Amino acid sequence: MKLHYALIFAASFATASSKLAAQSTCNNQDFEDTTFLNWNGATGFNLNLNAAVTWTPGMVSSVNNAALNDMLARHTIITQNVIDPVVIDPATNLPDTQMTSLAPGGGLASVRLGNNNINAENEKLIWLFNVTANNYIFQYQFATVQEDPFHAPDEQPYFMVNMFDVNNAIIPIGTDTFYSGQLNVPFITCPGGTPKYRRWTPISVDLSAYLGQTITIEFINSDCALGGHYGYTYIDVSCLGAPIANVWPGDCDYDLQANNVDLLTLGIAYTATGTTRAGASNSWLAQPSADWTQSIPLGANYKHSDCNGDGLVDLNDTLAITLNYSSTHPFRLPGDNSNDFDLTSLPALTLVPVQDTVAPYSYVDVDVYIGSSALPIADLYGLAYTITYNSSLIQPNMSSMSFVNSWMGTRNTTMLALSHDDFNAGAMDVGMTRIDQTEISGNGYLGRFRVAVGGVSVPTTLELGLSATRASDVNATNIPINSVGALVVIDPQLPAGITSPENTTHINLFPNPATDELLIQTEVIAEELVVIDAQGRVVYRSQPTGTQTKIDLQNFASGIYTVRATTPSGVSVQRLVIAK
């Protein structure tokens, strides 16, 4: 049952008057001016959900990004992306990395209604939405945190959305109420039973039946009616009010450029079918196309992933990404904000060199891992990142990426993967996505980056970094992650010359980074295994009897270690990261 009719407002509302240089493209509907310009607001008190609220017009605000316990922060502009400080993910017993203060895939600002103080408070935001032929879809996202006091439904904390037509009649398609005790709404319950929370949820409302009207849209947040339990809600609104007419082959996510990130969207749409595109080609130009029936929530229609226009999203559509790589076109949506917050305690994308020290004119092999046993990644579907390097230390046209035995899946069977090297920029772009609409959780090996170094006259450090990292689930919701680069020393005292690591025994460490236990795998039985800490001290030594050795890491401190395996064919080394 949708309990909303009693909250029809009965007072006029003040408009926020802050005047900053506009960044919004839709009169600040999306809060991108980082003010409440053109929005109306009000406050009240929750008597119960079926009782009319007496509203006091105007915003009650402290400062942008005000603390959650600030009693004056009832209408708060958010521009700093942080993980919500209250909710705990029951799956990990850690702060939920998907409960960010800025909306995933949204712009550079959002709003928080309410706080975690208690006083039976209500907060309201109002927007007047002009429905036109080019602006008839109202899109927003919300995430809400509510204590669950097990009161009667009409006394619970809640988040409500109301939409009214020009005659002040309720619009049922756009109106709903979410409260924490609601059995048919999937809330997540923190350890201990409260609070409950709902991660960012995208909503799209088609108002084409109201063309020519000005629709009143209300967002309402409320504490419980008895005054002892809080509720607060994050909100973001999109400027995009109508379908996109054209397809630019290779720009699958319609962020106005073709690059490795587009593979993530293509993976979500993989095997989808729709209308073919007349006169389709892979050429980088606007190609008119009817919308398909499927879209990513608050994102691109699946037609944009059908790059070749044959009506099927499949492997053939990856060609346009490669052909049009780095190309751009007009109409850019708001930028990504997924990595703007403190990255500690997040699952990490990590570079681990097979050898920490190499000779001039030799190969450097670097393994790429995601997550760890202590900080696994949850619900991963797609991943894009850039490996950066100093091109002055690298030989041109000798960089590559291998995805054999990747934890993400088998290439072109359960996973798509691409890499694009720009030697002049010192950057290798990588995109990886599953194609079976099945997310994976945990940690594992993603692939191996190989590069050939040049000559040096003195020991020189090659720094390998990670940038433009983006992880997402099957709904294209961003998953915040950390990134950890690597250092490799080029030592001229070692014999120079290209030598392939495949000529020596390869050792595999799992997991890496590790926390409690490490498994070392070798191709043949090693004569000796040694673990050396960052100070050069031997902290473990054994003579294995098989090709697999387990090491208990309980007495090992966090840090970087070197694992050395001696075999009849030589010595192999690999870096180990222990993170506790």
Based on the fold, state whether residues 28 and 175 are members of the same structural domain.
Answer: yes
Burial of 545 (0-12, 13-18, 19+ CB in 10 A): exposed
Phi, psi dihedral angles at 173 (to 5 degrees): -65, -25
pLDDT over 90 (residue 500): no
Based on the fold, state whether residues 25 and 137 are members of the same structural domain.
Answer: yes
Which of these, 486, 263, 508, 480, lies nearest to 371 by C-alpha position?
Answer: 480
Would you place residue 497 in the very low, low, confident or very high pLDDT band (cuts 50, 70, 90)?
Answer: low
- Using the 3D structure, point to which of 335, 364, 380 is the last residue of a domain: 335
In whole angstroms, what is the distance from residue 532 CA to residue 547 CA? 20
Identify the pLDDT of residue 333: 42
Q: How many domains does the chain have?
A: 4
467 near 385, Cβ under 8 Å?
Answer: yes
In whole angstroms, what is the distance from residue 576 CA to residue 580 CA? 13
Phi, psi dihedral angles at 403 (to 5 degrees): -120, 20
Based on the fold, state whether residues 303 and 372 are members of the same structural domain.
Answer: no
Q: What is the mean pLDDT of residues 358-372?
A: 91
CA angle 279, 284, 285 (to 5 degrees): 60
Based on the fold, state whether residues 32 and 50 are members of the same structural domain.
Answer: yes
- SS3 of 264-323: HHHHHHCCCECCCCCCCCCCCCCEECCCCCCECCCCCEHHHHCCCCCCECCHHHHHHHHH
470 near 478, Cβ under 8 Å?
Answer: yes
Based on the fold, state whether residues 86 and 233 are members of the same structural domain.
Answer: yes
Q: What is the mean pLDDT of residues 281-307?
A: 86
Based on the fold, state whether residues 375 and 482 are members of the same structural domain.
Answer: yes
Q: What CATH number should be reported for the domain holding residue 46?
A: 2.60.120.260
Identify the pLDDT of residue 523: 80
Name the maximum alpha-carbon separation found in the chain.
86
What integer best gives the mean pLDDT of the chain?
85
Based on the fold, state whether residues 420 and 514 are members of the same structural domain.
Answer: no
Based on the fold, state whether residues 541 and 406 are members of the same structural domain.
Answer: no
171 near 164, Cβ under 8 Å?
Answer: yes
Mean pLDDT is highest, among 113-117, 188-192, 395-399, 573-577, for 113-117
pLDDT over 90 (residue 580): no
Based on the fold, state whether residues 310 and 261 are members of the same structural domain.
Answer: yes
Which of these, 233, 203, 239, 202, lies nearest to 473 by C-alpha position?
Answer: 202
Looking up tokens 């100070």, which residue turns up?
Answer: 535
Range of the domain at 264: 245-335
Q: In this predicted model, what pLDDT tens digit does every residue of 81-91 receive, in sequence order?
A: 999 999 998 88
pLDDT over 70 (residue 514): yes
Which of these, 261, 274, 270, 263, lies nearest to 319 by C-alpha position?
Answer: 263
143 near 199, Cβ under 8 Å?
Answer: yes
C-alpha distances out from residue 32 to 58, 108, 316, 329, Å: 20, 6, 38, 22
β-strands 482-484, 348-353: how paired?
parallel
Can you spell out the DSSP letters for 336-404? Answer: P-TT-S--TTS-EEEEEES-SEE-TT-EEEEEEEE--SSS-EEEE-EEEEEEE--GGGEEEEEEEEE-T
SS3 438: coil
- Using the 3D structure, point to which of 460, 475, 503 is the last residue of a domain: 503
In whole angstroms, what is the distance from residue 248 CA to residue 259 CA? 12
Based on the fold, state whether residues 208 and 276 are members of the same structural domain.
Answer: no
Which of these, 41, 192, 35, 60, lies nearest to 115 by C-alpha position?
Answer: 60
Based on the fold, state whether residues 370 and 457 are members of the same structural domain.
Answer: yes
Q: What is the mean pLDDT of residues 344-372?
A: 88
What secondary structure letter does DSSP report for 428? E
Q: In this predicted model, what pLDDT tens digit does every residue of 68-105 receive, in sequence order?
A: 999 999 999 999 999 999 999 888 888 888 899 998 76
β strands within 88-136, DSSP E: 88-89, 94-95, 110-113, 121-130
- Using the 3D structure, point to which of 205, 237, 269 is the last residue of a domain: 237
Q: What CATH number should be reported for the domain holding residue 376?
A: 2.60.40.680
In whole angstroms, what is the distance from residue 237 CA to residue 229 CA? 27
Q: What CATH number should be reported for the domain holding residue 521?
A: 2.60.40.10
Residue 572 CB coordination number (10 Å): 20
141 near 98, Cβ under 8 Å?
Answer: no
16 near 33, Cβ under 8 Å?
Answer: no
In whole angstroms, what is the distance from residue 487 CA to residue 219 CA? 50
In whole angstroms, what is the distance from residue 340 CA to residue 391 CA? 28
Strands laid side by side in the 517-522 sheet: 507-510, 517-522, 548-552
Based on the fold, state whether residues 421 and 465 are members of the same structural domain.
Answer: yes
pLDDT over 60 (residue 545): yes
In whole angstroms, what is the distance from residue 286 CA to residue 281 CA? 10
Mean pLDDT is highest, among 147-156, 187-196, 325-334, 377-386, for 377-386
Tokens of 468: 């433009």
